[in-house]
Amino acid sequence: MIEDALGDRSLVVVSNREPYVHEYADGEPAVQRPAGGLVTALDGVVAETGGTWVAWGSGDADFDPAVAPEGEVRMPPEARANSADDRPGYTLARLDLPRRLVENYYYGYSNQVLWPICHLEADPVTVDAKFWPAYREANRRFAERAVAADPDVVWFQDYHLGLAPRFVREQRPDARLVQFWHVPWPTPEFFEICPQATELLRGLLGNDAVGFHLERYADNFRDCVARFVPDAEVTDAGIRYDGRLVETYASPIGVDTERVADNARSDAAAHYWERVVDRYDLDPERPVVLGVDRLDYTKGVVERLDALAHLLETTPELAGEFTYVQKGTRTREGIPAYRRYYDAVRDRIAELDRVHGTEDWTPALYIEDDVDDRELAGLYRNADVAVVSSRRDGMNLVAKEFVAAQGRPFPNAGLAQTEGLDNPARDRAPGALVLSRFVGAAESLCPAALPVNPYDVSAFAETIRDALEMGEPERHDRMASLQASVRGEDIDAWLATQLDVLAGRERVVAADDD
Ligand code: ADQ
């Protein structure tokens, strides 16, 4: 697929995060494999082209002389440099960024200015005079390293790299540059609070194409260009800027549905769930409501816990009838708003348990285990209800992974028949999904997923109750529809579109069946 798309053109992928991290374990550098479908999928693409992946080297052993003194290492780990066999591989080019730069470009501009603005959150926006120069400097370094790889095609990932395309364009007017923006793009009325609105847009217009999950985000981007870049002309064919035509496109990201379904059926998934049941003394007959989130204020975890508290206050007969399991991951802890958010989540969970808990029942659990994909799938498959309640989210892959993990066909015979294992996963109906209207995934998953406005506490509480009370036939019907959507927009479909765009090929848009 990749060879067809790019031929012998060389590809350079640029992202803030690296696909493999070297960390010291017992004093020795050890490579950590990526978790999650996106990195795995991109890893496969770059490996097939034999190209270069430029990223910030964040691991403490990344620059160990035994690993990569100059920051360059052959990846994936199995691919040996100059190997006689033809196993694919690529060069991971790690940038050794000074701590101060990382603080101001990553924890600063990227995550205290751009992230909240893109998610329509004005309050957490914090502008420090050091942030923007650091963002420029970091982007310049990413761009320089990309140019050094002599690329024909450069593929930038996400909002940390808004200026790099322009820097690369200045040195490589002939290269094809494409960027995928993984978070929403706000309306001009909101984007104008960004002090560097115009410069940032000019940076992105260094690309030949800029991709978003939804058409709506691409429309917002074009509206922002029309408003803030006076010398750009927004036309139906694209944006005319600097003598070039910049295309925008929408391409909803998805998950590797087979892989997630296999993970959910694995022994590791069953074992992990068994451990959770034992550790917290969960009653196997009591339904589980699940939340899986990075503890980011955009994810609406606090709103969800408030809705659960409201539900128990207004419907006391539900006491003891379910357990809420919050799988959390701490994130961006260098930023005060994130540390406060973590505390707020923990406090609310403690409060729920204090106010509503009894000797036989703990209403809410918090799990912070470092889980792999299979263990995570074990949580998904054993939940009766999953709640994704982001205040705003570009797409949200947790919702899609939950759907894919419910397996097929139903009822899930595979789980019950896992050999040699007293598998605690019940042979039962699939879980129900409660989904915020404000995530990109809602466009394809609602109304088969029960839609909620996370700000509407009483309606949210009622929807959780509806999901808990949903009968088996309805669970099957809804899940069949959700699975069709998730399979139709999976990671392969997303990658195929990206490859077409990277290659500059005409894309064939599938005709609607009806
Ligand atoms: P994120 O904000 O990180 O991604 P999301 O898409 O929900 O949000 O999750 C990404 C991955 O993290 C998923 O594969 C999930 O399995 C994993 N994950 C999340 N919480 C976890 C937890 N507590 N424990 C273990 N794993 C966890 C950004 C955008 C999204 C967009 C993606 C991809 O914010 O809107 O869907 O990029 O484009």
The answer to whether 458 touches 314, Cβ cutoff 8 Å, is: yes
Question: What atom of ligand 1 comes closest to residue 401's alpha carbon?
Answer: 16
Q: Where do we find the tokens 């440099």?
A: 81
pLDDT of residue 82: 52
Backbone phi and psi for residue 130, each to the nearest 5 degrees, phi listed first:
-80, -20
Measured between alpha carbons, how far is 187 from 184 in angstroms, rounded to an integer?
A: 10
pLDDT tens by residue, 244-292: 999 999 999 999 999 999 999 999 999 999 999 999 999 989 999 999 9
Q: How remote is the C-alpha of 33 from its chain's centroid?
A: 17
User: Given pLDDT bands bounded at 50, 70 and 90, which one contains residue 450?
Assistant: very high
Question: Which carries the bigger pLDDT value, residue 427 or residue 50?
Answer: 50
pLDDT of residue 492: 94
Strand order across the beta sheet in which 385-388 lies: 364-367, 323-329, 288-294, 385-388, 432-436, 450-452
pLDDT of residue 83: 52
Share of the chain above pLDDT 70, in %: 91
| Cβ of 36 less than 6 Å from ligand 1 | yes
| Cβ of 364 less than 6 Å from ligand 1 | no
Under DSSP, is residue 122 helix (H, G, I), strand (E, B) or coil? coil
Under DSSP, is residue 88 helix (H, G, I), strand (E, B) or coil? coil
User: Given pLDDT bands bounded at 50, 70 and 90, which one contains residue 426?
Assistant: very low
Question: What atom of ligand 1 comes closest to residue 371's alpha carbon?
Answer: 25
pLDDT tens by residue, 128-143: 999 999 999 999 999 9
pLDDT tens by residue, 324-380: 999 999 999 999 999 999 999 999 999 999 999 999 999 999 999 999 999 999 999
Question: What atom of ligand 1 comes closest to residue 255's alpha carbon?
Answer: 14
Q: What's the 299 CA to ligand 1 centre distance in angstroms? A: 10
Backbone phi and psi for residue 412, each to the nearest 5 degrees, phi listed first:
-75, 80
| Sheet strands (E) in 26-152 | 28-32, 52-56, 72-75, 90-95
Q: What per-residue string of b and e applies to 13-32 under the rule 16 or more CB within 10 Å gives b?
A: bbbbebbbbbeeeeeebebe
pLDDT of residue 177: 98
Task: Provide the whole-model pTM.
Answer: 0.93
- C-beta atoms surrounding 177 within 10 Å: 26
| Cβ of 327 less than 6 Å from ligand 1 | yes
User: Given pLDDT bands bounded at 50, 70 and 90, which one contains residue 514?
Assistant: very low
The answer to whether 457 touches 303, Cβ cutoff 8 Å, is: yes
Return mean pLDDT, the chain: 92
Average pLDDT over residues 218-233: 98
pLDDT of residue 49: 86
Of 11, 31, 45, nearest to 495 (Cα)? 45
Question: What atom of ligand 1 comes closest to residue 253's alpha carbon?
Answer: 38
Decide the pairing of beta strands 176-180 and 209-212: parallel
| Cβ of 293 less than 6 Å from ligand 1 | yes
pLDDT tens by residue, 386-414: 999 999 999 999 999 999 999 854 444 33
The answer to whether 203 touches 232, Cβ cutoff 8 Å, is: no
User: Given pLDDT bands bounded at 50, 70 and 90, which one contains residue 33?
Assistant: confident
pLDDT of residue 507: 64
pLDDT of residue 509: 52
Residue 476: CB partners within 8 Å, gap ≥ 6? 410, 429, 430
Residue 98 pLDDT > 80: yes
Q: Is the dihedral of CA 17, 20, 22, 23 positive or negative?
A: positive
Average pLDDT over residues 300-310: 98
The answer to whether 84 touches 51, Cβ cutoff 8 Å, is: no
Identify which of 120, 376, 397, 444 to mutate to test ligand 1's pocket (most ligand atoms within 8 A of the CB).
397
Q: Where are the alpha helices (DSSP H) in 357-441?
A: 373-381, 397-405, 413-416
DSSP string covering 156-207, please? EESGGGSSHHHHHHHH-TTSEEEEE--S----HHHHTTSTTHHHHHHHHTTS
User: Given pLDDT bands bounded at 50, 70 and 90, which one contains residue 202?
Assistant: very high
Share of the chain above pLDDT 90, in %: 85
pLDDT of residue 39: 83
Residue 93 pLDDT > 60: yes
For the chain, the helix, strand and coil percentages under 3-state DSSP, each to the nearest 5: 45, 15, 40
Average pLDDT over residues 51-75: 93
User: Given pLDDT bands bounded at 50, 70 and 90, which one contains residue 87?
Assistant: low
Burial (CB count <10 Å: 0-12, 13-18, 19+), residue 111: buried
- C-beta atoms surrounding 181 within 10 Å: 23
| Cβ of 401 less than 6 Å from ligand 1 | yes
- C-beta atoms surrounding 409 within 10 Å: 9
Measured between alpha carbons, how far is 246 from 232 in angstroms, rounded to an integer?
A: 10
Residue 59 pLDDT > 50: yes
